[in-house]
Amino acid sequence: MEIKFTEENLKKLDKAKSHYPKSDAALMPALWLAQEQFGWLSIDVMKYVGSILNIPYEHVLGAAEFYTMYYKKPVGKNHLQVCTNISCMLCGAYDILDYISDKLDIKTGETTQDGKFMLSEAECLGSCGTAPMLQLNNYYEENLTKEKIDNLIEKLSKS
């Protein structure tokens, strides 16, 4: 597969560049676009992003490594990230994590064999008032219960 931004993403990148006085500052938006398009940031993708912004690959790698939300490895189609920080922990987050882990038969950090689900433990996601909660790809699922999880996983398994 040739690594190249779509026309639309190139336009979005140009727009992002116009927000900063220096184009290398558009690295973070560029990495977001790349992750959206390619799913994760492989070495080749990072090299491509570097070439397009005129940034050495090592700098791109340095930034990508620093931020946890940039994926340096492929992830499952549905990434379930359960917050286990204090407020969620007090509201039973670890039970939720174990429940999902048993249900999907994967440990934290693993992906199901069909590539449909990945399970992670997350730090506070700023949703402490609706604990326990998890992040599913870009969006939040709040006030979790076992029933809610059953329904969610059933829905996602079918899609």
Partner 1 sequence: MSDFQPIILKNIPDYDKIEVYLKHGGYKALKKALKMKPEEVIEEVKKSGLRGRGGACFPTGLKWSFMPQKTDKPKYLCCNGDESEPASFKDREIFEKNPHQFIEGTLIACWAMGANTAYIYIRGEYYKWIELLQKAINDSYAKGFIGKNIAGSKFSADIYIHRGAGAYICGEETALLNSIEGKRGIPRFKPPFPANYGLWGCPTTINNIETLANIPAIIESGGEWFSKIGEPKHPGSLLYGLSGHVNKPGIYELPSGTLLTELIYKYGGGVKDNKPIKMIIPGGSSMPPLRGDEIEGLKMDNENLKSVNSYIGTAGIVVMNEDTDVVKVIKRITKFYYHESCGQCTPCREGCGWLLKILDRIDKGLGRKEDIELLADVASNIEGNTICAFGEAVAWPVKWAVKKFLPEFEQKVKENISLPIANKVHALRVTYQE
Partner whose footprint covers residue 99, from ligand FES, partner 1, none (CB < 5 to 8 Å by kind): none
Helix/strand/coil for 111: strand
Phi-psi sector, 50: left (phi>0), alpha (psi -120 to 50), beta: alpha
- Pick one of 125, 136, 152, 153: the residue that binds ligand FES (CB under 6 A): 125
The answer to whether residues 68 and 61 touch, using CB atoms and an 8 Å cutoff, is no
Pick the stretch among 1-9, 23-31, 41-49, 125-133 that binds ligand FES (CB under 6 A): 125-133
Using rule CB under 6 A, residue 64 touches ligand FES:
no
Partner whose footprint covers residue 133, from partner 1, ligand FES, none (CB < 5 to 8 Å by kind): ligand FES
- Pick one of 16, 31, 83, 96: the residue that binds ligand FES (CB under 6 A): 83
Strand partners, 141: 134
Which tokens is 125 given?
């996601």
The answer to whether residues 30 and 5 touch, using CB atoms and an 8 Å cutoff, is no
Residues 4-43 contacting ligand FES, CB under 6 A: none
List CB contacts of 111: < 8 A, sequence separation 6 or more: 75, 76, 117, 118
d(CA 117, CA 123): 19
Write out the residues near partner 1 by the rule CB under 8 A: 19-22, 24-29, 31-32, 55, 59, 62-63, 66-70, 84-87, 89-91, 123-131, 135, 138-140
Nearer to partner 1, 62 or 157 (CB): 62
Contact set with ligand FES (CB under 6 A):
83, 85-88, 124-128, 131, 133
